[in-house]
Amino acid sequence: MSNLSRRKLIVTGLATAAGAGGLGSAALLAKKYGLVPPDHGGVFGLGETLTYASQRLLTSHSLAREFSPSQISRPPFANEMAPLPDAFKQLQAGRFADWRLSVDGLVDRPASFSLAQLKSYPSRSHITMIQCEEGWSYIAEWTGVPLHHVLDAVGVQPHAKYVVYFSFDSNWWDSMDMADAAHPQTFLAYGMNGGDLPVGNGGPLRMRLPRQLGYKNVKFITHLTVTDSLKRFGKGLGSASPEAGYSWYAGI
Amino acid sequence: MARLESAQASLAASAPTSVSSFPSAAVPVRHSLLVRVTHWITTLCFLALLVTGAEILISHPRFYWGETGNVQTQPLFKLPIPSSRALVPSGYGYVLPDQNGWSRYLHFQSAWIVVLTGLLYVLSFFFTGHLRKNLLPAKPERSFRAFATTCADHLRLKRPPAEEAWSYNLLQRLAYLFVIFVLFPLVIWTGLAMSPSFVSAFPFTVNVLGGQQSARTLHFFVSVALLLFFLVHVAMLFFAGFASRMRAMITGRPSAHMERP
């Protein structure tokens, strides 16, 4: 009996040590290869890290499903929205001619773009689904300039890791990693279903990442900052979402 | 670990004289340590998934078939419950508090833990023979007659004989096999099929279900089936003898003094 329990003790001890060592080296490797999300702290850090790390290993280059024109939801759905400030309404009255998108941070040539300048770049469209974390969804054709085109124009420095994006509504800001920023379907969208992007759907300029949930697709984009660390932004959790209790990575 | 336990069990079975000297070790093990640990981790995760799933559900208690659905489209059906979003026409004059943030974090964390635990449990079949010994119906039970008898016994609410404290009956085995090999895989699949990023890499997982909203609706139905299993499982626990069954799943032994019949 004592022999058995000694053996048990040794086996359990060795297994625990191997497990702890394995976890430790996995954590180091995950950090080195950018597989740890900014909201990895706290009790839900394990699940978030497993999700983000496995998504990055499996889906970095995969394309969101695209649909046929007959599958476009009509009429397009616009979610409820907080009332817009007067400053926004003034820009809207001027048909957003004075809307600016500024880009700074780890870039060679910080710049500010008008909508007309963004529209002069080659435009791309995709018919994709936008899914809300609540459970509803719709399909629309989104038109815009791929984010990587804008980033190429300003010259992103090699040690950049994230693109932080800010809304006209200062309560909303978010960030994405370079895999999503370089993804061909990630747009600064200014058009929808053949026309201008309606204000109710985030017009004049919305960040569109079809592989992540609706709340990651921030409306009314005015400012991008390229960075190698998210610690300086807000509470350092990567976006306004974790500060409100929602996960930073929204690809699930 | 499980091997050691079963080694102890067979040792005890072959040497009944040791009962008086080592009572705790002499009573054979009903559930191996691996079965007990995975059972309770699964129980905790299931309850967490159930509560958080319900929390997420009330933010949009409407179900659709196909790719898309929202408050402008005709639902397949809607649940007659209030919602945690003002946008949803629930028919109630109030809006429930939003609990989606932590519910989603906990839902996915519990899903990870239960999937890894389930994987360990299924992989252990190859080493312990648990599937062959305890889950697949024994040879004499593989008949319609045996199935009809066990169904009739259940319907008559016949109390299980004492030896059933030591093995699963036929209906129990079939229910467990269904949960392990049908409901759990389905609930994982329909869950992953709702992830926009996962389906970008594996689009067939959602396309064969008929669309993202179909996956969500099926996820709900499979969850209801799992909840029904859970309720019957707990009811049967009380019916068969709460103390002995609970004790067996915690300590491994139905009773300190019970000998295997």
According to the model, what pLDDT value does residue B259 have? 56
Please state, in angstroms and rounded to a whole number, the distance separating the CA atoms of residues B254 and A183.
58
B112–A131: do the CB atoms touch at under 8 Å? Answer: no
Choose among A139, A245, A252: nearest Cβ to B108: A252
Q: Which amino acid is at A134?
A: E
CA distance B76 to chain A (A): 13
According to the model, what pLDDT value does residue B214 have? 98
Q: For A151, which DSSP code?
A: H
| Beta-carbon pairs below 8 A across chains A and B | 128
pLDDT of residue B129 exceeding 70: yes
Q: What digits encode the pLDDT tens for the residues B132-160?
A: 888 998 888 888 888 888 888 888 888 77
- If we measure between CA atoms, which residue out of B78, B43, B36, B40 comes closest to residue B61? B78
The A residues from 73 to 92 touching B (CB cutoff 8 Å) are 73, 75, 77, 79-80
The A residues from 209 to 228 touching B (CB cutoff 8 Å) are 210-213
Residue A2 touches chain B, beta carbons under 8 Å = no
Domains of chain A and any CATH numbers: 70-243 (3.90.420.10)
Q: State the angle between helix axes of B170-178 and B212-251 in degrees (0 to 180), rounded to the nearest 10.
A: 140
pTM to 2 decimals? 0.88
Burial of B26 (0-12, 13-18, 19+ CB in 10 A): buried
Instruction: Check if the beta carbon of residue A221 is closer than 8 Å to that of residue A115.
Output: no
A77–B85: do the CB atoms touch at under 8 Å? Answer: no
User: Which residues sit opposite A112 in a β-bridge?
Assistant: A102
Helix, strand, or coil here: B74? coil
Instruction: Check if the beta carbon of residue B233 is closer than 8 Å to that of residue B243.
Output: no
pLDDT of residue B257 exceeding 80: no
pLDDT of residue B19 exceeding 60: no
Please state, in angstroms and rounded to a whole number, the distance separating the CA atoms of residues B139 and B170.
11
Residue B8 pLDDT class (50, 70, 90 cuts):
very low
According to the model, what pLDDT value does residue A3 have? 60
Choose among A48, A50, A59: nearest Cβ to B200: A59
Which residues 6+ apart lie within 8 Å of A75 measured at CB? Answer: B72
pLDDT of residue B22 exceeding 50: no
Residue A64 touches chain B, beta carbons under 8 Å = yes
A47–B110: do the CB atoms touch at under 8 Å? Answer: yes
Residue A137 touches chain B, beta carbons under 8 Å = yes
Start-end of H helices in A126-173: 147-154
Residue A49 touches chain B, beta carbons under 8 Å = no
Q: What digits encode the pLDDT tens for the residues B67-100?
A: 999 999 999 999 999 999 998 998 899 999 999 9
Sign of the torsion formed by the C-alpha atoms of A223, A228, A232 and A238? positive
Q: Residue B72: which H helix or E strand, with range?
A: none
Kindly give the confidence (pLDDT) of every residue in chain A, 252 residues in length, as a single tens digit, with 9 standing for 90 and above: 456 677 777 878 888 888 888 878 887 888 888 899 999 988 999 999 999 999 999 998 999 999 999 999 988 888 888 888 999 999 999 999 999 999 999 999 999 999 999 999 999 999 999 999 999 999 999 999 999 999 999 999 999 999 999 999 988 999 999 999 999 999 999 999 999 999 999 999 999 999 999 999 999 999 999 999 999 999 999 999 999 999 999 998
A47–B109: do the CB atoms touch at under 8 Å? Answer: yes
Residue B256 pLDDT class (50, 70, 90 cuts):
low
Residue B97 touches chain A, beta carbons under 8 Å = no
Set of chain B residues whose Cβ sits within 8 Å of the Cβ of A210: 196
Place of tokens 């709702």: B194
Which residues 6+ apart lie within 8 Å of B206 measured at CB? Answer: A65, B193, B194, B199, B212, B215
Residue B125 pLDDT class (50, 70, 90 cuts):
very high
pLDDT of residue B25 exceeding 80: no
Residue B27 pLDDT class (50, 70, 90 cuts):
low
